Amino acid sequence: MATPRDAQQFAYAQDKLTFLLALVPYLLDHGRVTVREAAEHFQVSEKQIRDAVSLIAVSGVPGETMQYQHGDLFDISWDDFDERDEIVITHMVALDDSPRFSAREAAALIAGLQYLQSLPENLDSGVYSSLMDKLARGASESPSQVAVARSDATGSLAEVRDALARGVQIEFDYLSSRGSREHRRVDPLRIDSDDENWYLRAWDHLREAVRTFRLDRMTDVRVTDEPVTGSHDDVALGDRLFQGADDDLVVTIELDPSALSLLGEFVSSVDARATDAAASVSGRVRTDIRVAHINALKRLVTATSSAVTIVDPPEARAAVVDWANEALSQYRSAGLPAAGRPADPASA
């Protein structure tokens, strides 16, 4: 189950230009191609192809007369185009080969490949390095210095991937965000990753719904021989890992705006609200968030205590206090360390 990508629309003139520069060599190479084939190949709408071909057909170079005479322009077989929806370029000017990558385009793909190297496919690293080398040579300048360290997924990834490829169910123990350990049996649908975190999106037999599981919370993973219960083609897997539920808890928090991204996937939704006066003085904003369970929120807030504070309800505030105090008591009984400034090896 791949994410169906809708036909991409180009919002910027630069992207439209890239499309034109990419389309011409493809059309020349193919000689004759239907609008539909071209649209599928480039993953754009048929209208985008027709618009682009119409533009190409009247474009060209000023030529010797500086007047864009007939021979200075591209030409297509209009009968084929108008009547059969087929594209045949009958006269070309100036442009016949595919363009090089820009420094940043090559860098984006190279960094993406670096990130993917942690996938448990049977690919030796030579495949990656030869690809990266081609991208670098195919760029008009040396690729921008952007790199992503490979993200080593925890153990279960290979098993889950195997089950997904063979279309069989898997069983595992799962420590839920509510803190309880449960046995699950699922039809794996897709493996999602988010930076260094890996997730399994799966049809949960117990809940009869799609659920998202953190791979590093899954233990005793067992790949069964039983085929999955259905293709689940009707299930749309969006980009969001977690969906809100009716019994979500609404919590009012105050936070530093720069910390908003930290909340990320932890919360199912953020309802932005007008800042109140007191909060805005400190540069903080107030907002309502919806969370599945206080258990996850108290962890998040304790981890970001300098940037996020719970305002309401009081039970949520109390949960943080208890959580942090419980942790502190371990240190008190062991004797608190002498106050010292934390070393900071990685930062400037």
Instruction: Verify binding: residue 125, other proteins, rule CB under 8 A.
Output: no
Instruction: Write the DSSP symbol of residue 264.
Output: G
244 near other proteins, rule: CB under 8 A = no
If we measure between CA atoms, which residue out of 80, 70, 147, 69 comes closest to residue 112? 147
- Owner of token pair 């009869």: 208
Rounded Cα–Cα distance for residues 116 and 200 (Å): 16
> Looking at 79-87, 203-211, 228-236, 301-309, which segment touches other proteins (CB under 8 A)?
301-309
Between 314-334 and 294-303, two packed helices, what is the crossing angle to 10 degrees?
A: 60
Among 7, 149, 236, 250, binds other proteins (CB under 8 A): 149
Of 151-159, 204-212, 243-251, 286-294, the window that binds other proteins (rule: CB under 8 A) is 151-159
Tell me which of 39, 88, 113, 279 binds other proteins, using CB under 8 A: 113
CA distance 183 to 189: 18
Do the beta carbons of residue 243 and residue 234 sit within 8 Å?
Answer: no
CB of 179 to other proteins, least distance (A): 7
* Nearer residue to other proteins within complex by CB, 154 or 229: 154
Considering the rule CB under 8 A, would residue 249 count as an interface residue with other proteins?
A: no
| Part of the chain binding other proteins (CB under 8 A), chosen from 147-155, 203-211, 220-228, 267-275 | 147-155
145 sits near other proteins (criterion: CB under 8 A): yes
Q: Least CB distance from residue 23 to other proteins, whole Å?
A: 7
User: Smallest Cα–Cα separation from 110: which of 138, 147, 141, 150?
Assistant: 147
- Determine the Cα angle at 244 with ends 241 and 247, to 5°: 140
Number of residues located near other proteins, criterion CB under 8 A: 140
In the complex with other proteins, the residue whose CB is nearer, 108 or 249, is 108
Pick between residue 79 and residue 303 the one whose CB is nearest to other proteins. 303
Using CB under 8 A, which of 275, 288, 302, 313 touches other proteins? Answer: 302
Site string for other proteins, 267-296 (x = CB under 8 A): ------------------------------
Give the helix ranges, DSSP H, for 218-313.
Answer: 260-263, 277-281, 294-303
Helix (H, G, I), strand (E, B) or coil at 32: coil
Q: Is 39 in the site for other proteins (CB under 8 A)?
A: no
Contacting residue, 75, 138, 171, 205, with other proteins by CB under 8 A: 138
Q: SS3 of 125, please?
A: helix
Question: Which pairs from 40-46 meet CB under 8 Å and 24+ separation?
Answer: 43/5, 43/7, 43/8, 44/7, 44/8, 44/19, 45/7, 46/85
Binders of other proteins in range 160-199 (CB under 8 A): 161, 164-165, 175, 179, 181, 188-197
Burial environment of residue 145 by CB neighbours within 10 A (0 to 12, 13 to 18, 19 or more): exposed
Cβ nearer to other proteins, comparing 146 with 249: 146
Cβ proximity to other proteins, 3 vs 224, nearer residue: 3
Q: In terms of CB distance, is 261 or 277 closer to other proteins? A: 261
Question: How distant, in Å, are the alpha carbons of 14, 120, 343, 346 from that of 340?
Answer: 53, 43, 9, 18
Task: For other proteins, give the closer residue by CB, 59 or 77.
Answer: 59
Min. distance of Cβ 246 from other proteins in angstroms? 25
233 sits near other proteins (criterion: CB under 8 A): no
Going by C-alpha positions, the residue among 180, 66, 176, 191 that lies closest to residue 116 is 191
Contact pick of 30, 185, 205, 290 for other proteins (by CB under 8 A): 30
Q: What is the DSSP letter of 242?
A: -
